[in-house]
Chains A and B, each alone.
Chain A
């Protein structure tokens, strides 16, 4: 089974990212965060879950269940929304490259 996952694991890790949403000037409110998928690195394009945007919707979460609502433009959320995306270094990017032999996990301070 291990063999079949090799390249899928690498592809999945290259595409994975984490997204966090907070309110400008009010870091204590939130942050809300979720996982995401990198669609393109340059230009940067990510798809993530919509649940973290609910607290910022100008018209409240009811707008999500309005009949026929299939999409909402970017300005549906308040102006003080701040978004950040973080992803792992790419194998090809600066500071990337495979460093074999180093232990995979470290114990950073959370």
Chain B
């Protein structure tokens, strides 16, 4: 699950508690969650989004799919009939809840769920997976922690304060046009418990005592504006729109942005660059360079018509060392601020860069700060059609930096043009195919 091997959790190795009978007290939903969901996914592109736990080519009827979508933001409050042993267990709330907005975007999160539900709890009960709070839209949250079907309803906790409940899993898998997006949809816990208290009081007086059992909110009081600060460097991630295609870009100078060639492939094309931090701006620019289609360095360079004021320019890293456990404690965490460069309008209206925490899977975790590089593509298995957003082809900044600097200072494209002559080993990696031992013979 991508976590540090720590001391075994106390419950492992002993038989699980026997299954306890329970009764449904209440089905509830969070109106604000639905309002944001409808706003983000309710427009004409909605039919390309699927939040089903089944893979796109699984046999799921349209009716089942519609049922799953209707139930996506609904949760159930159950009363559990305890046996004598359980009655003697400690009383009082088991969890404390983080108020909405108390957790900053990018903060580490821990998901605790049971993949495949009750299928094999001896193995899968309380499986842990960590990630970060990738994006926020009211009570609708995104995390890049990996979740599997069956973890719907699982708790999402903070590291600090330790074990505070932030949200519950609403949809572990998000599919956009048949591609798994790699983010999990969450419903914030605090608004959900407020809805539960309200519903219990309205249902019947005797249920009011249950309202008092809802876990308390601990931490920043309700009502503060959502903390979306994040580190300054994330502001360098901009959104690049070229016609109907859009993707990420990085501001490398006040009037220079690097993006992917597949976002703006044609030199001289006009593109619109948007930034949201420190303030929302939209500036036109023109593609001054794009590598060839066959080049593994899938990049393009945009020159802007105005300055991107006050956007911090990232400092390029100089060294890369392959990561390893022993370096972990000294390692800097590597984060990725991206607008989903494959053009999916996730959280489009917000246009804020979602985060992913990829320090375990990147090729370098050496304690070097700075801009490591650009993610230009995800790995796709052409046989199954699955895309793996956590397995990326990235271009180290040391490959690009000399040419970008030369162009920024002299407007000379010479260094950038040389990128089209990438060495064969780079091509092999990019294609994920071994070079053929010998050229294929003609069948004529």
Contacts and interface: CB of A to CB of B under 8 A. Distances in A.
B75 A49 contact: yes
Nearest to B109: A8
A16 B16 CA distance: 12
Contacts of B29: 50, 64, 69-71
Contacts of A33: 114, 117-119, 150
A12 B214 contact: no
A89 B92 contact: no
B355 to A, nearest CB: 16
A27 interface: no
B67 interface: yes
Interface in A36-77: 36-54, 61-62, 64-65, 69-74, 76-77
B159 interface: yes
Nearest to B72: A51
Interface in B21-37: 21-31
Contacts of A32: 117
Contact of A44 (B20, B150, B198, B333): B20
A37 B192 CA distance: 13
Interface in B195-227: 195-196, 198-199, 202-203, 210, 213-215
A39 B168 contact: no
Interface string A11-39: 11111111110000000000111111111
A20 B91 contact: no
Nearest to B19: A84
B17 A86 contact: yes
Name the prevailing secondary structure of the A interface residues: mixed
Could you say which interface size class chain B belongs to? 35 or more
Contacts of B202: 71
A5 B6 contact: yes
Contacts of B76: 19, 47-50, 52-53
Given A12-B112, A50-B74, A61 B117 contact: no
Contacts of B123: 105, 108, 110
A3 B160 CA distance: 11
A88 B66 CA distance: 33
A106 B29 CA distance: 38
A11 B66 contact: no
Contacts of B231: none
Given A15-B95, A45-B80, A73 B26 contact: yes
A61 B119 contact: no
A5 to B, nearest CB: 6
B155 A12 contact: yes
A87 B18 CA distance: 8
B13 A46 contact: no
B20 A40 contact: no
Contacts of B162: 6-8, 11
Nearest to B333: A1
Contact of B16 (A44, A72, A88): A88
Contacts of B199: 70-71
A28 to B, nearest CB: 15
Contacts of A62: 70
A13 to B, nearest CB: 5
B122 A110 contact: yes
Contacts of B192: 47
Nearest to A109: B122
Q: Which of B66, B126, B198 has the most CB of A within 10 A?
A: B126
Given A39-B214, A110-B122, A92 B79 contact: no
A44 B28 contact: no
B79 to A, nearest CB: 6
Contacts of B333: 1
Contacts of A35: 112-114, 117, 150-155, 169
Nearest to A95: B14
Nearest to A110: B120
A16 B17 contact: no
Interface of B: 3-31, 66-68, 70-72, 74-82, 85-95, 108, 110, 112-114, 117-123, 125-126, 128, 130, 150-155, 157-160, 162-163, 165, 168-170, 192, 195-196, 198-199, 202-203, 210, 213-215, 328, 333
Given A8-B158, A14-B94, A108-B123, 5 more contacts: A8-B157, A43-B82, A50-B27, A51-B152, A61-B71
The 10 closest A-B pairs by CB, nearest first: A11-B163, A2-B4, A44-B80, A33-B117, A50-B74, A49-B153, A88-B11, A35-B154, A33-B118, A12-B112
24 contacts: A2-B4, A15-B157, A17-B125, A18-B118, A35-B150, A37-B165, A38-B94, A40-B92, A41-B94, A47-B76, A50-B75, A51-B67, A51-B152, A52-B117, A53-B74, A54-B70, A64-B29, A70-B28, A73-B26, A84-B21, A89-B11, A94-B85, A95-B15, A105-B123
